[in-house]
């Protein structure tokens, strides 16, 4: 039975996907910064049918322990078939209100942590005959977005790194799926960093009307199973991805009119 390691597994997309994999009888390794929330998710995963669950709490803004964490995750059930780098942190600040330490923190969680996880797990996967890596990006990783300068940059960076990883390792049985959400009703806006580095503490109105995490998971998990290169998750807002691709000048004009919160 497959083993799936999900980061950001205590809520939102990660939690919902954990339940989908549990219902398939998978073994699960669950990571987020909150042990209490993870334990609650783990209990439900067991009830949903997971053949094994291990909770590995970790703050991914701390790079020093990621290699050891990865080794522990791998050894828990004797390997990992799917690594889902889903954890992330957002912001609600203009460029002039986003000091470099905030940029670094966002980049640490959203970009450097997935890179470190992949670099630790990739050679183990290839030695084991292959595996799947999924990475949560965002439509804000396809074009700049107001009040998201560091967040958008971190998501753009994921494409560059993991597209390269895929190109270099496709012949070793490694697939990479970019999970690109638009508006999904998660806590990411509530937990976003606001001016002064404080917690934003509010659900964005647009996000509140977005897709439920459960509906998102029903789209995401089959896409990873099919080894799709990318899966867009959301509704009408996803049209901006295609506007950017085919009509970049129009996209630039429309982005200026976006009400970001």
- Rounded to the nearest integer, the mean pLDDT of the chain is 96
- Position 260 scores a pLDDT of 64
The arithmetic mean of pLDDT across residues 43-59, rounded, is 98
Lowest mean pLDDT among 64-73, 164-173, 224-233, 244-253: 244-253
- Position 261 scores a pLDDT of 63
Q: Under 8 Å CB-to-CB from 96, ≥6 apart: which residues?
A: none
Which active-site residues does the annotation give? 151
Tens-digit pLDDT profile for residues 183-236:
999 999 999 999 998 899 998 888 888 899 999 999 999 999 999 999 999 999
For strands 230-233 and 27-31, give the pairing: unpaired
* CB contact at 8 A, 63 and 107: no
> Could you tell me where the DSSP H helices lie in the chain?
12-23, 35-48, 66-76, 100-107, 113-127, 149-169, 205-208, 213-225, 239-246, 248-255
- Position 205 scores a pLDDT of 86
Report CA 102 to chain centroid distance, whole Å.
19
The arithmetic mean of pLDDT across residues 66-83, rounded, is 98
Q: Under 8 Å CB-to-CB from 36, ≥6 apart: which residues?
A: none
The arithmetic mean of pLDDT across residues 26-41, rounded, is 97
Q: In 3-state terms, the chain is what percent helix, strand and coil (to 5)?
A: 50, 15, 30
Q: What would the two tokens of residue 207 be?
A: 């996000």
Place of tokens 């004797």: 78
Question: How much is the pTM?
Answer: 0.96
The arithmetic mean of pLDDT across residues 86-108, rounded, is 97
Distance (Å, rounded) from C-alpha 232 to C-alpha 230? 7
Count CB neighbours of 124 within 10 A. Answer: 17
């Amino acid at each position: 039975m497959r083993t799936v390691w999900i980061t950001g597994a205590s809520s939102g997309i990660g939690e919902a996907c954990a339940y989908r994999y549990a219902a398939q009888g998978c073994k699960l390794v669950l990571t987020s910064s909150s042990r209490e929330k993870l334990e609650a998710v783990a209990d439900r995963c067991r009830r949903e049918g997971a053949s094994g669950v291990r909770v590995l709490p970790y703050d991914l803004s701390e790079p020093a322990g990621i290699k050891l964490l990865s080794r522990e995750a791998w050894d828990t059930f004797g390997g990992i078939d799917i690594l889902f780098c889903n954890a992330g942190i957002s912001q609600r600040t203009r460029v002039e209100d986003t000091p470099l330490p905030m940029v670094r923190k966002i980049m640490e969680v959203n970009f450097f942590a997935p890179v470190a996880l992949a670099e630790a797990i990739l050679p183990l996967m290839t030695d084991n005959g292959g595996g799947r890596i999924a990475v949560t990006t965002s439509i804000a990783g396809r074009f700049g977005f107001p009040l998201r300068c560091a967040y958008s940059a971190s998501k753009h960076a994921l494409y560059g790194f993991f597209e390269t990883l895929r190109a270099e390792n496709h012949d070793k049985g490694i697939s990479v799926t970019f999970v690109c959400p638009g508006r999904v009703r998660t806590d990411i806006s509530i937990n976003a960093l606001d001016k002064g580095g404080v917690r934003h503490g509010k659900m964005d109105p647009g996000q509140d009307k977005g897709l439920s995490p459960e509906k998102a998971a029903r789209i995401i998990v089959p896409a990873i199973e099919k080894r799709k290169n990318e899966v867009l998750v959301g509704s009408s807002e996803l049209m901006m991805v295609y506007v950017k691709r085919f009509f970049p000048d129009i996209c630039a004009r429309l982005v200026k009119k976006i009400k970001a919160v």
